[in-house]
Amino acid sequence: MPSRADDVDWDALRAAAVSVMRQAYAPYSSFPVGVAGLVDDGRVVVGCNVENASYGVGLCAECGMVSALHASGGGRLVAVACVGANGAPLMPCGRCRQLLWEHGGASCLLETPLGVLPMSEVLPQAFGAEDLDRAGE
Ligand code: THU
């Protein structure tokens, strides 16, 4: 599986994100989001945002993608493309960066408006499972 940005078919991953973005349920924000993740076994999992009349209950696209990751067999995310309505790379919100960290870790690559970056640069000094272990020391 690709560990270098050059080894990822970013056009295909972005196309999958654009395709699922068109399925978004975003009647309240009118801000559809789609995300596609390449899994370490070669699968591609996708998600779109799904809003709710109770605004705070809305689900970000990344939530759907992570659910699809586990529902389809688990694994680790190695590369992620997230897009908005114009099909251009969109930075995940803070909560969703934490989701990507949990399921992809520091080396997971993200296509950003400033190019492909590892999660270690997207969420520096991230809080993670190791911190839970350390907290007891
Ligand atoms: N949204 C996502 O789906 N992912 C993000 O990373 C940023 C925000 C959604 C949530 C809401 O449905 C809409 O975009 C506007 O905030």
Given the CA of residue 84, which atom of ligand 1 is nearest to it?
Answer: 14
Q: What is the pLDDT of residues 50-77, one digit of tens each?
A: 999 999 999 999 999 999 999 999 999 9
Please determine, for residue 90, whether its predicted confidence score (pLDDT) is greater than 80. yes
How large is the average pLDDT for residues 2-16? Answer: 89
* CA 135 to ligand 1 center in whole angstroms: 32
Domain ranges of the chain: 5-135
- The reply to whether ligand 1 has any atom less than 6 angstroms from the CB of 58 is yes
Per-residue model confidence (pLDDT) at position 1: 63
- The reply to whether ligand 1 has any atom less than 6 angstroms from the CB of 49 is yes
Catalogue the active-site residues.
62
Match domain 5-135 to its CATH number in 3.40.440.10, 3.40.140.10, 3.50.50.60, 1.10.3720.10.
3.40.140.10
CA distance 12 to 1: 15
* CA 39 to ligand 1 center in whole angstroms: 22
Average pLDDT value for the chain: 96
Per-residue model confidence (pLDDT) at position 4: 79
The residue whose CA has the least distance to atom 9 of ligand 1 is: 60
Per-residue model confidence (pLDDT) at position 57: 98
Please determine, for residue 130, whether its predicted confidence score (pLDDT) is greater than 70. yes
Q: What is the pLDDT confidence band of residue 2, given thresholds at 50, 70 and 90?
A: low
The residue whose CA has the least distance to atom 6 of ligand 1 is: 92
Give me the sign of the Cα torsion angle 55, 60, 66, 71.
positive
Q: What is the pLDDT of residues 31-54, one digit of tens each?
A: 999 999 999 999 999 999 999 999
pTM flag (> 0.85): yes
- The reply to whether ligand 1 has any atom less than 6 angstroms from the CB of 60 is yes
User: Order of strands across the sheet with 77-83?
Assistant: 44-48, 34-39, 77-83, 109-112, 115-118
